[in-house]
Amino acid sequence: MHRLEQFIVEILLPPIDRLREIELEVLEDFPDPVGDLSESIERPNKSAVPEGEESAWRAETRAEIIEAFLWLHLGVEIGSFPEEATRAAYKAVLAPFFKSLLSRDDVVLDQLRFGERYVAHSPESQALVLALPRYASILVELAMREEEVFGKEQAGFDDPGGLRSLFQTLSLLYSSFVANPAVRQFTYELNFAEPHVWERDWKKNCTGNEAREADISGSGPPIALTLAGYLNFWGHGARCAELFQGLEGSEEVSTFDIGRLRNRFSELLRWRINLRSRDSTERFERIQEGLVQQLQRETKTLKVDPRGLALLQESMESAFELWGAVRV
């Protein structure tokens, strides 16, 4: 399977499908994504969204789709994804999605018509854009206006072709990371769950074994999946940091380009730990504190050298630099 086809089928289509399921009325006019591609691989089983949480899960799923779009945008600039085929996929799948983000409010549409607004944002799309880095928010608004996106807001690499191997490795790591239900639950609880849902889920007790079981099975109570998700963020950040560190001093790839790619890669993912939001920051700190306390209890119970815990905390701090989140 071609890299682009694999990315669309494994990364882009699953959240599109989940979004269809959550709110069919918004997306009922969607064409069958990318034609026969949708039949080339078995789709993952859909899971029901808890009653009363549809709006919050819809926002999280939309953010995942935007992240996939930003990956495609970056892949085209580097040359890992063929531009013509990517544009075709964009037109079939993403253009209708971005259109669905537009407000249906008559007042907003009139303001757009008379040039009083640049984009007909709905409250939901405005909230999503505010969580994105500047380049990404510009691209989303261009897409909502049905304007050119792939030639805009590029990272500006000196030799983009020299980054293809690195981008491919990052894509492989990302595909495994983003497909994990625990990662999705962590992202949801941290940034999108309503306060009463977060408090309800967080107050439930969870042992280290339950979190590990949720990580292995991809299912379990929300709090267990959330803690397992944190561990996956930790592991993903650590693997990506190791990958970039291994290229330091390389004569094959431009140091400037590696730095640019690392910054773009980090920006692309930071909405998942949105430290611009007070609520998200407080929740992140509570998750970290809860996990550290659990590790401390297990350290005492198992009579493990406390220096091991200090090394784990140091590893967390290094890994979470990818998201600009280093509080441990």
Q: What is the pLDDT of residues 75-114, one digit of tens each?
A: 999 999 999 999 999 999 999 999 999 999 999 988 988 8
Provide the terminal-to-terminal Cα distance of the chain, rounded to the nearest Å: 41
The reported pTM is: 0.87
Tell whether the model's pLDDT for residue 29 goes beyond 70: no
What pLDDT does 296 receive? 74
Please say whether the beta carbons of 248 and 157 come within 8 A: no
The angle at the Cα of 91, spanning 184 to 273, to the nearest 5 degrees, equals 25
Evaluate if residue 168 carries a pLDDT over 90: yes
pLDDT at 26 over 50: no
Residue 293's pLDDT is: 78
Residue 196, class by beta-carbon neighbours within 10 Å (0-12 exposed, 13-18 middle, 19+ buried)? exposed
Q: Please tell me the predicted confidence (pLDDT) of residue 42.
A: 45
Reading the block at residue 184, the tokens are 């999705």
Q: Residue 194 is encoded by which pair of tokens? A: 């309503």
Q: What is the pLDDT of residues 271-287, one digit of tens each?
A: 999 988 999 999 999 98
Domain residues of the chain, as ranges? 1-154, 162-328
Residues 6+ apart with CB under 8 A from 56: 188, 192, 193, 194, 197
Q: Which residue has the higher pLDDT, 33 or 246?
A: 246
Give the model's pLDDT for residue 320. 80
Q: Residue 57: what pLDDT?
A: 95
Adjacent-strand bridge partners of 121: 102
CA-wise closest residue to 15 among 68, 51, 53: 68
DSSP string, 7-68: HIIIIIHHHHHHHHHH-HHHHTTPPPTTGGGGGSSPPPPP-PPPTT-HHHHHHHHHHHHHHH
pLDDT confidence of residue 291:
81
The first and second tokens of residue 240, run together, are 């990506």
Q: Once rounded to an integer, what is the mean pLDDT over residues 255-262?
A: 93
pLDDT band at 45 (very low <50, low <70, confident <90, very high): very low
From 156-160, 223-227, 252-256, 292-296, the region with the lowest mean pLDDT: 292-296
For 173-216, the pLDDT digits (tens) are 999 999 999 999 999 999 999 999 999 999 888 887 888 899 89
